[in-house]
Amino acid sequence: MPDVMADYKGNNKAAMPPARQNEEGFVLVATLVILMLLVVLGISTTTNTNIELQIAGNDKVYKQNFYQAEGGSYNEAGRVGVSSSPYQVSDPGTSNQILSDLSNLASPLVLNDPTTWPSSNLNQLSYNSLVTYLYAGSPPKGYDASQFSGYNFRIDGANVTNGTIVIELGGNKVGVKSSM
């Protein structure tokens, strides 16, 4: 009887058990396949993380621009109707009056182009705004319509630093009725 162990140790393939003859190198191939899957998974996770960071960065910039434009709009809205405000209505009977100071504009005013609107600063943040007197209407309930009027305004604030974001507010100030 031949010595099977001696033949097996001598790498005699004929003497190897039949079930193991075609399994040589399987562990190496399986390890390489698993390693490649892990590499692909790592690359896709890194790519996904980079995309999410870019989205978060863009969202942050958009929100900063939005809040800057909104803050400018509310700042200008708070100045409407105040006696020391530059926004004084000279003739309440004339509707759609632009009340913003247009004397220092670098280029002609274009109503639908916020880059041509007057620029202001609020806590070192710049914004453009346009204040328009729309019309005189009836006062809110509780006011005598023969003595008071509701003056309607539109306040547009814009941030044109990183893209253009425009915020439009409507306002109503109650004041003594002006003789027209």
Domain locations in the chain as residue ranges:
52-176
pLDDT value of position 180 = 46
Strand duo 119-122 + 125-137: pairing: antiparallel
**Which pLDDT value is given to residue 40?**
97
CA–CA separation, 50 vs 112, rounded Å?
37
10-residue stretch averages of pLDDT, the chain, 180 residues long: 53 58 80 96 97 95 89 86 75 85 83 87 84 87 85 89 84 74
* Cα-only R_g, the chain: 37
pTM above 0.75, yes or no: no
- As given in the structure block, the two tokens for residue 119 are 């620029």
Residue 81 has a pLDDT of: 73
Burial bucket for residue 39 (CB in 10 Å: 0-12, 13-18, 19+)? exposed
Q: How far apart are CA 147 and CA 142, in angstroms?
A: 12
